[in-house]
Amino acid sequence: MAKTKKILYGICIIVWIISIGTSIYFYGKYRTLTQLLQDSSQEQTKQIIARVGRLIVLPSDEQPSIVTVADPDKLRDQLFFRNAKKDDVVLIYANAKKAILYDPADNKIVEVGPITTAPQAGSAPQSNFPQQSSGQAGSPQTEGQNASTAATTTTQNATTTKK
């Protein structure tokens, strides 16, 4: 019986060592993939900014938030998005209070508009432009509603999901 317990403990220790080794291996793979995705995302953002920068003068003192339009039908009632198409890109310059709608397929700027904020009683200023907190733009903004249900984004600055 003592020999059986030793064998059982030995098997448990071997399984535990294999589990720890496997966990370390897959964590390393996870970290590598996360870094690759982040690098790819940053490179893609640089390319978009460079392409738009050839068409219009961009604010040089900040990095824009980049939002991709996924469902333009949900945005049609907003004047800024009336000519938006699926996969168009919105560059949002919060400090410069400027938004640029860019069509990467045709390499042209579709719309440029200001971002205005109107303070509400007892709350922080709200933007009339779709919020950036989840990195999506997709439905008209209403009071207390985050207008970000139909697009995807990439992020660089965690405070306002800027890229």
**pLDDT tens-digit map of 95-138:** 999 999 999 999 999 999 998 876 655 554 444 454 443 344 44
Give the confidence band of 142 by pLDDT, cuts at 50, 70, 90. Answer: very low
Q: Which of 163, 142, 139, 141 is nearest to 67 (CA)?
A: 163
Q: 56: which DSSP letter?
A: S
78-92 pLDDT per residue, tens:
999 999 999 999 999
Of the pLDDT bands very low, low, confident and very high (cuts 50, 70, 90), residue 28 is: very high
Among the ranges 60-64, 115-119, 138-142, which has the highest mean pLDDT value?
60-64
| Cα 22-24-33 angle, rounded to 5 deg | 105
| pTM of the complete model | 0.56
89-93: strand order across its sheet? 108-114, 98-103, 89-93, 65-69, 151-154
Tokens of 141: 């903004």
Distances (CA, A) of 12 to 4, 6, 117: 12, 10, 62
